[in-house]
Amino acid sequence: MTTDTDIRTSDPTGLHRVLDERTVLPQAAQRLDTRRELWSDEVRVRVERLNLDAASFRQLERVHTHDGVTDGDAVRAEVLDIVATRGKMQNPETGSGGMLVGTVEEVGPESPLGLSVGDRVATLVSLTLTPLVIEDGLARWDGRSEQVPCDGYAVLFGRSIAAVIPDDLDPALSLSVMDVCGAPALTARVVEEHVARGARPTVAVIGGAGKSGSLSLAAARAAGAERTIGVVPHQGEHDLLTAAGLADRVAVADARDPVALRDAVTAAGGPADVTVVCVDVPGCEGGAILATADGGTVVFFSMATSFSAAALGAEGLAADVRMLVGNGYVPGHAAYAMELLRSDAGVRALFERRL
Protein backbone atom coordinates (compact mmCIF):
# COMPACT_ATOMS: atom_id res chain seq x y z
CA MET A 1 0.00 0.00 0.00
CA THR A 2 1.28 3.45 -0.89
CA THR A 3 0.27 6.76 0.54
CA ASP A 4 -1.15 7.54 -2.88
CA THR A 5 -4.14 5.34 -2.12
CA ASP A 6 -5.05 7.51 0.81
CA ILE A 7 -5.98 10.44 -1.40
CA ARG A 8 -9.56 9.17 -1.60
CA THR A 9 -11.33 7.48 1.26
CA SER A 10 -12.46 4.02 0.29
CA ASP A 11 -16.15 3.17 0.12
CA PRO A 12 -17.37 -0.40 0.58
CA THR A 13 -19.24 -0.18 -2.73
CA GLY A 14 -16.05 0.66 -4.62
CA LEU A 15 -16.99 4.25 -5.43
CA HIS A 16 -13.39 5.31 -4.79
CA ARG A 17 -12.30 3.42 -7.92
CA VAL A 18 -14.85 5.02 -10.27
CA LEU A 19 -13.09 7.35 -12.73
CA ASP A 20 -16.23 8.81 -14.37
CA GLU A 21 -17.08 12.48 -14.02
CA ARG A 22 -20.58 11.73 -12.67
CA THR A 23 -21.04 9.89 -9.39
CA VAL A 24 -22.10 6.41 -10.39
CA LEU A 25 -21.67 3.00 -8.84
CA PRO A 26 -18.87 0.80 -10.25
CA GLN A 27 -21.31 -1.27 -12.29
CA ALA A 28 -22.60 1.81 -14.11
CA ALA A 29 -19.13 3.32 -14.54
CA GLN A 30 -17.41 3.72 -17.89
CA ARG A 31 -14.01 3.22 -16.33
CA LEU A 32 -12.51 1.92 -13.09
CA ASP A 33 -9.19 2.63 -11.42
CA THR A 34 -7.22 -0.63 -11.58
CA ARG A 35 -4.18 0.34 -9.50
CA ARG A 36 -2.51 -2.63 -7.85
CA GLU A 37 -2.22 -1.00 -4.43
CA LEU A 38 -5.14 -1.76 -2.14
CA TRP A 39 -7.28 0.52 -0.06
CA SER A 40 -7.46 -0.85 3.46
CA ASP A 41 -10.80 -2.70 3.06
CA GLU A 42 -9.94 -4.30 -0.30
CA VAL A 43 -8.68 -7.73 -1.38
CA ARG A 44 -6.54 -8.51 -4.45
CA VAL A 45 -7.00 -11.81 -6.24
CA ARG A 46 -4.55 -13.43 -8.68
CA VAL A 47 -6.86 -14.46 -11.53
CA GLU A 48 -6.66 -17.91 -13.05
CA ARG A 49 -9.84 -18.00 -15.12
CA LEU A 50 -12.63 -15.72 -16.29
CA ASN A 51 -16.07 -17.19 -16.95
CA LEU A 52 -17.69 -14.83 -19.42
CA ASP A 53 -21.43 -14.36 -19.18
CA ALA A 54 -23.10 -16.53 -21.82
CA ALA A 55 -25.02 -13.67 -23.41
CA SER A 56 -21.85 -11.59 -23.64
CA PHE A 57 -19.75 -14.36 -25.19
CA ARG A 58 -22.42 -15.20 -27.75
CA GLN A 59 -22.57 -11.55 -28.81
CA LEU A 60 -18.78 -11.36 -29.27
CA GLU A 61 -18.77 -14.63 -31.17
CA ARG A 62 -21.56 -13.45 -33.47
CA VAL A 63 -19.83 -10.21 -34.35
CA HIS A 64 -16.61 -11.98 -35.23
CA THR A 65 -18.08 -14.83 -37.24
CA HIS A 66 -17.96 -14.49 -41.02
CA ASP A 67 -19.15 -17.14 -43.47
CA GLY A 68 -19.66 -19.51 -40.56
CA VAL A 69 -16.07 -19.15 -39.32
CA THR A 70 -15.39 -17.56 -35.94
CA ASP A 71 -12.25 -15.46 -35.73
CA GLY A 72 -11.06 -16.37 -32.25
CA ASP A 73 -8.15 -13.94 -32.41
CA ALA A 74 -10.55 -11.08 -33.03
CA VAL A 75 -12.73 -12.17 -30.08
CA ARG A 76 -9.66 -12.25 -27.85
CA ALA A 77 -8.50 -8.85 -29.10
CA GLU A 78 -11.88 -7.34 -28.32
CA VAL A 79 -11.97 -8.72 -24.77
CA LEU A 80 -8.46 -7.37 -24.18
CA ASP A 81 -9.53 -4.01 -25.54
CA ILE A 82 -12.64 -3.83 -23.35
CA VAL A 83 -10.71 -4.66 -20.20
CA ALA A 84 -7.87 -2.25 -21.02
CA THR A 85 -10.30 0.58 -21.82
CA ARG A 86 -12.82 0.13 -19.02
CA GLY A 87 -10.72 -1.45 -16.29
CA LYS A 88 -13.35 -4.21 -16.02
CA MET A 89 -14.94 -6.82 -18.28
CA GLN A 90 -18.31 -5.42 -19.26
CA ASN A 91 -19.55 -6.07 -22.76
CA PRO A 92 -20.78 -2.70 -24.04
CA GLU A 93 -23.52 -4.36 -26.10
CA THR A 94 -25.03 -6.75 -23.55
CA GLY A 95 -24.01 -4.84 -20.43
CA SER A 96 -23.08 -8.14 -18.81
CA GLY A 97 -19.83 -9.54 -17.47
CA GLY A 98 -19.34 -12.90 -15.82
CA MET A 99 -17.35 -14.13 -12.83
CA LEU A 100 -13.77 -15.14 -12.10
CA VAL A 101 -11.74 -17.76 -10.26
CA GLY A 102 -8.43 -17.07 -8.61
CA THR A 103 -6.32 -17.13 -5.48
CA VAL A 104 -6.23 -14.45 -2.80
CA GLU A 105 -2.94 -12.53 -3.12
CA GLU A 106 -3.29 -9.74 -0.55
CA VAL A 107 -5.90 -8.83 2.06
CA GLY A 108 -6.29 -5.27 3.28
CA PRO A 109 -6.19 -4.95 7.10
CA GLU A 110 -9.78 -3.73 7.26
CA SER A 111 -11.33 -6.14 4.75
CA PRO A 112 -14.60 -7.56 6.13
CA LEU A 113 -14.70 -10.49 3.67
CA GLY A 114 -13.01 -13.05 5.93
CA LEU A 115 -10.59 -14.22 3.24
CA SER A 116 -6.94 -15.28 3.74
CA VAL A 117 -3.97 -15.17 1.40
CA GLY A 118 -3.89 -18.44 -0.57
CA ASP A 119 -7.66 -19.07 -0.51
CA ARG A 120 -8.96 -20.27 -3.87
CA VAL A 121 -12.09 -18.27 -4.53
CA ALA A 122 -14.84 -17.55 -7.03
CA THR A 123 -16.25 -14.03 -7.15
CA LEU A 124 -20.00 -13.88 -6.71
CA VAL A 125 -20.29 -10.29 -7.82
CA SER A 126 -20.28 -9.52 -11.49
CA LEU A 127 -17.16 -8.75 -13.51
CA THR A 128 -19.06 -5.62 -14.55
CA LEU A 129 -18.03 -3.97 -11.29
CA THR A 130 -14.70 -5.69 -10.57
CA PRO A 131 -11.43 -3.85 -11.33
CA LEU A 132 -9.41 -6.18 -13.56
CA VAL A 133 -5.97 -6.17 -15.19
CA ILE A 134 -4.98 -8.88 -17.67
CA GLU A 135 -1.23 -9.51 -17.72
CA ASP A 136 -0.73 -12.41 -20.15
CA GLY A 137 -2.55 -11.08 -23.22
CA LEU A 138 -4.90 -14.08 -22.80
CA ALA A 139 -2.24 -16.10 -24.65
CA ARG A 140 -3.73 -19.43 -23.51
CA TRP A 141 -7.26 -18.64 -24.78
CA ASP A 142 -8.37 -19.39 -28.33
CA GLY A 143 -11.34 -17.03 -28.16
CA ARG A 144 -13.78 -19.87 -28.75
CA SER A 145 -15.16 -20.60 -25.28
CA GLU A 146 -16.70 -18.71 -22.35
CA GLN A 147 -13.99 -20.23 -20.15
CA VAL A 148 -10.98 -17.92 -20.39
CA PRO A 149 -7.62 -19.01 -18.89
CA CYS A 150 -6.06 -15.79 -17.70
CA ASP A 151 -3.19 -14.41 -15.66
CA GLY A 152 -3.74 -11.06 -14.03
CA TYR A 153 -5.31 -9.52 -10.97
CA ALA A 154 -8.69 -8.32 -9.77
CA VAL A 155 -9.78 -6.25 -6.77
CA LEU A 156 -12.66 -6.95 -4.38
CA PHE A 157 -14.32 -4.19 -2.37
CA GLY A 158 -15.61 -4.20 1.18
CA ARG A 159 -19.08 -5.18 -0.02
CA SER A 160 -17.98 -7.59 -2.76
CA ILE A 161 -18.69 -11.27 -2.33
CA ALA A 162 -16.37 -14.17 -2.96
CA ALA A 163 -16.78 -17.81 -1.98
CA VAL A 164 -13.99 -20.21 -1.15
CA ILE A 165 -14.05 -23.14 -3.60
CA PRO A 166 -14.46 -26.44 -1.72
CA ASP A 167 -11.62 -28.98 -1.98
CA ASP A 168 -13.89 -32.00 -2.19
CA LEU A 169 -15.73 -31.09 -5.38
CA ASP A 170 -14.79 -30.63 -9.03
CA PRO A 171 -14.15 -26.87 -9.29
CA ALA A 172 -16.25 -26.70 -12.45
CA LEU A 173 -19.15 -28.20 -10.49
CA SER A 174 -18.72 -25.69 -7.66
CA LEU A 175 -18.65 -22.78 -10.05
CA SER A 176 -21.71 -23.98 -11.86
CA VAL A 177 -23.58 -24.07 -8.54
CA MET A 178 -22.26 -20.74 -7.28
CA ASP A 179 -23.34 -19.07 -10.49
CA VAL A 180 -27.02 -19.49 -9.53
CA CYS A 181 -26.84 -19.71 -5.75
CA GLY A 182 -29.09 -16.70 -5.09
CA ALA A 183 -32.18 -18.54 -6.31
CA PRO A 184 -32.32 -21.45 -3.83
CA ALA A 185 -31.51 -19.18 -0.88
CA LEU A 186 -34.29 -16.72 -1.66
CA THR A 187 -36.72 -19.52 -2.47
CA ALA A 188 -36.02 -21.10 0.91
CA ARG A 189 -36.55 -17.78 2.66
CA VAL A 190 -39.90 -17.18 0.96
CA VAL A 191 -41.09 -20.71 1.68
CA GLU A 192 -40.06 -20.33 5.34
CA GLU A 193 -42.07 -17.10 5.55
CA HIS A 194 -45.17 -18.92 4.34
CA VAL A 195 -44.54 -21.79 6.77
CA ALA A 196 -44.10 -19.29 9.62
CA ARG A 197 -47.52 -17.84 8.77
CA GLY A 198 -48.92 -21.28 9.48
CA ALA A 199 -49.35 -22.88 6.07
CA ARG A 200 -46.92 -25.11 4.23
CA PRO A 201 -47.03 -23.78 0.67
CA THR A 202 -47.40 -25.41 -2.71
CA VAL A 203 -44.37 -24.27 -4.72
CA ALA A 204 -44.19 -24.20 -8.53
CA VAL A 205 -40.81 -23.70 -10.20
CA ILE A 206 -41.02 -22.63 -13.84
CA GLY A 207 -37.94 -24.07 -15.55
CA GLY A 208 -37.54 -26.71 -12.86
CA ALA A 209 -34.96 -28.82 -14.72
CA GLY A 210 -32.46 -25.98 -15.16
CA LYS A 211 -29.62 -25.00 -12.85
CA SER A 212 -31.39 -22.38 -10.73
CA GLY A 213 -34.69 -24.25 -11.12
CA SER A 214 -33.49 -27.60 -9.83
CA LEU A 215 -31.75 -25.98 -6.85
CA SER A 216 -34.91 -23.97 -6.12
CA LEU A 217 -37.02 -27.13 -6.12
CA ALA A 218 -34.62 -28.79 -3.68
CA ALA A 219 -34.61 -25.66 -1.52
CA ALA A 220 -38.41 -25.45 -1.49
CA ARG A 221 -38.69 -29.03 -0.30
CA ALA A 222 -35.97 -28.60 2.32
CA ALA A 223 -37.64 -25.43 3.61
CA GLY A 224 -40.95 -27.16 4.22
CA ALA A 225 -43.05 -26.92 1.06
CA GLU A 226 -46.21 -29.04 1.18
CA ARG A 227 -45.94 -29.88 -2.51
CA THR A 228 -43.43 -29.02 -5.24
CA ILE A 229 -44.32 -28.71 -8.92
CA GLY A 230 -41.65 -28.48 -11.59
CA VAL A 231 -42.75 -26.99 -14.91
CA VAL A 232 -40.63 -27.79 -17.97
CA PRO A 233 -40.98 -27.00 -21.68
CA HIS A 234 -40.87 -30.49 -23.20
CA GLN A 235 -40.91 -34.23 -22.62
CA GLY A 236 -37.11 -34.58 -22.55
CA GLU A 237 -36.80 -32.29 -19.53
CA HIS A 238 -39.89 -33.92 -18.04
CA ASP A 239 -38.12 -37.27 -18.02
CA LEU A 240 -34.90 -35.78 -16.67
CA LEU A 241 -36.59 -33.96 -13.82
CA THR A 242 -38.79 -36.94 -12.99
CA ALA A 243 -35.71 -39.18 -12.79
CA ALA A 244 -34.01 -36.66 -10.51
CA GLY A 245 -36.93 -36.91 -8.10
CA LEU A 246 -36.80 -33.22 -7.18
CA ALA A 247 -40.47 -32.40 -7.67
CA ASP A 248 -43.63 -34.07 -6.42
CA ARG A 249 -45.19 -33.36 -9.79
CA VAL A 250 -43.66 -32.49 -13.14
CA ALA A 251 -45.75 -30.63 -15.72
CA VAL A 252 -45.01 -29.76 -19.34
CA ALA A 253 -46.09 -26.30 -20.53
CA ASP A 254 -44.94 -23.34 -22.59
CA ALA A 255 -44.37 -20.69 -19.92
CA ARG A 256 -45.05 -17.91 -22.44
CA ASP A 257 -48.64 -19.12 -22.84
CA PRO A 258 -50.37 -17.78 -19.71
CA VAL A 259 -53.40 -20.02 -19.93
CA ALA A 260 -51.38 -23.16 -20.63
CA LEU A 261 -49.11 -22.39 -17.68
CA ARG A 262 -52.01 -21.69 -15.32
CA ASP A 263 -53.81 -24.86 -16.40
CA ALA A 264 -50.68 -27.02 -16.11
CA VAL A 265 -49.92 -25.81 -12.59
CA THR A 266 -53.57 -26.17 -11.55
CA ALA A 267 -53.72 -29.73 -12.89
CA ALA A 268 -50.54 -30.57 -10.97
CA GLY A 269 -52.08 -29.53 -7.66
CA GLY A 270 -51.94 -25.75 -7.89
CA PRO A 271 -52.50 -22.87 -7.87
CA ALA A 272 -49.12 -22.28 -6.31
CA ASP A 273 -48.63 -20.31 -3.12
CA VAL A 274 -45.11 -19.59 -4.28
CA THR A 275 -44.13 -19.46 -7.95
CA VAL A 276 -40.45 -19.21 -8.86
CA VAL A 277 -39.63 -18.12 -12.41
CA CYS A 278 -36.28 -19.52 -13.58
CA VAL A 279 -36.63 -19.54 -17.37
CA ASP A 280 -34.65 -16.98 -19.32
CA VAL A 281 -37.28 -16.24 -21.97
CA PRO A 282 -39.38 -13.07 -22.14
CA GLY A 283 -43.12 -13.08 -21.66
CA CYS A 284 -43.59 -15.39 -18.67
CA GLU A 285 -44.95 -12.74 -16.28
CA GLY A 286 -48.67 -13.19 -17.01
CA GLY A 287 -48.61 -16.96 -16.72
CA ALA A 288 -46.63 -16.87 -13.48
CA ILE A 289 -49.15 -14.43 -11.98
CA LEU A 290 -52.13 -16.50 -13.14
CA ALA A 291 -50.58 -19.71 -11.75
CA THR A 292 -50.29 -18.14 -8.29
CA ALA A 293 -53.00 -18.15 -5.63
CA ASP A 294 -54.29 -14.90 -4.12
CA GLY A 295 -52.02 -13.93 -1.26
CA GLY A 296 -49.17 -15.87 -2.84
CA THR A 297 -45.70 -14.83 -3.95
CA VAL A 298 -44.02 -14.78 -7.36
CA VAL A 299 -40.22 -14.66 -7.36
CA PHE A 300 -38.73 -13.53 -10.67
CA PHE A 301 -35.19 -14.84 -11.17
CA SER A 302 -35.15 -14.51 -14.93
CA MET A 303 -33.16 -11.57 -16.29
CA ALA A 304 -35.68 -11.54 -19.15
CA THR A 305 -38.37 -10.30 -16.74
CA SER A 306 -40.04 -7.04 -17.72
CA PHE A 307 -40.81 -4.83 -14.74
CA SER A 308 -43.78 -3.16 -16.42
CA ALA A 309 -45.21 -6.43 -17.72
CA ALA A 310 -45.18 -7.79 -14.16
CA ALA A 311 -46.59 -4.64 -12.54
CA LEU A 312 -49.28 -3.90 -15.13
CA GLY A 313 -50.01 -7.60 -15.59
CA ALA A 314 -50.88 -8.17 -11.95
CA GLU A 315 -52.94 -4.99 -11.84
CA GLY A 316 -54.76 -5.93 -15.04
CA LEU A 317 -55.62 -9.34 -13.57
CA ALA A 318 -56.60 -7.90 -10.18
CA ALA A 319 -54.15 -10.42 -8.79
CA ASP A 320 -53.29 -9.92 -5.13
CA VAL A 321 -49.85 -11.47 -5.40
CA ARG A 322 -46.57 -10.30 -3.94
CA MET A 323 -43.90 -10.04 -6.64
CA LEU A 324 -40.21 -10.16 -5.74
CA VAL A 325 -37.26 -9.07 -7.82
CA GLY A 326 -34.88 -12.04 -7.49
CA ASN A 327 -31.97 -10.52 -5.58
CA GLY A 328 -28.89 -12.61 -6.35
CA TYR A 329 -27.53 -11.96 -2.86
CA VAL A 330 -28.75 -13.59 0.32
CA PRO A 331 -26.27 -14.03 3.16
CA GLY A 332 -24.87 -17.56 3.15
CA HIS A 333 -26.26 -18.31 -0.30
CA ALA A 334 -23.18 -20.07 -1.70
CA ALA A 335 -22.76 -22.38 1.29
CA TYR A 336 -26.48 -23.19 1.24
CA ALA A 337 -26.42 -24.11 -2.45
CA MET A 338 -23.32 -26.30 -1.98
CA GLU A 339 -25.08 -28.06 0.89
CA LEU A 340 -28.08 -28.81 -1.37
CA LEU A 341 -25.73 -30.18 -4.02
CA ARG A 342 -24.00 -32.43 -1.51
CA SER A 343 -27.14 -33.69 0.20
CA ASP A 344 -29.42 -34.15 -2.80
CA ALA A 345 -28.38 -36.80 -5.29
CA GLY A 346 -30.99 -35.58 -7.76
CA VAL A 347 -29.56 -32.06 -7.86
CA ARG A 348 -26.04 -33.41 -8.18
CA ALA A 349 -26.98 -35.70 -11.04
CA LEU A 350 -28.57 -32.84 -12.98
CA PHE A 351 -25.51 -30.62 -12.46
CA GLU A 352 -22.94 -33.29 -13.27
CA ARG A 353 -24.81 -34.08 -16.46
CA ARG A 354 -24.02 -30.55 -17.68
CA LEU A 355 -20.26 -30.62 -17.08
DSSP 41-80: T-EEEEEEEEEE-HHHHHHHHHHTEETTEE-HHHHHHHHH
Query: Which residue intervals of 199-257 are DSSP H helices?
Result: 211-222, 235-244
Out of 114, 137, 236, 316, name the contact with its own copies by CB under 8 A: 316
Please, what's the b/e burial string for 282-315 (b: 16 or more CB within 10 A of its CB; e: otherwise)? ebbbbbbbbbbbeebbbbbbbeebeeebbeebbe
Residue 315 interacting with its own copies (CB under 8 A): yes
Out of 1, 172, 252, 324, name the contact with its own copies by CB under 8 A: 324
Residue 345 interacting with its own copies (CB under 8 A): no
Out of 183, 328, 340, 348, name the contact with its own copies by CB under 8 A: 328
Report the residue number, 203 or 299, with the smaller CB distance to its own copies.
299
Residue 95 interacting with its own copies (CB under 8 A): yes
Kindly give the pairing relationship between strand 202-206 and strand 69-70. Answer: unpaired
The residues, any chain, with a CB within 8 Å of residue 301's CB and separated by 6 or more, are 182, 183, 186, 212, 216, 276, 277, 278, 326
Size, binding site for its own copies by CB under 8 A: 55
Residue 24 interacting with its own copies (CB under 8 A): yes
Residue 174 interacting with its own copies (CB under 8 A): no
Residue 125 interacting with its own copies (CB under 8 A): yes
Residue 184 interacting with its own copies (CB under 8 A): no
Contact 64, 78 (CB under 8 A): yes
CA 331/CA 346 separation, integer angstroms? 25
Q: How far is the CB of 28 from its own copies (least distance, A)?
A: 7
Residue 98 interacting with its own copies (CB under 8 A): no
Out of 321, 334, 340, 350, name the contact with its own copies by CB under 8 A: 321
- Which residues from 212-271 bind its own copies, rule CB under 8 A? 257-260
Q: Which residues contact its own copies (rule: CB under 8 A)?
A: 11, 13, 15, 22-28, 95, 124-126, 128-129, 159-161, 182, 257-260, 283, 286, 290, 300, 303, 305-308, 310-331
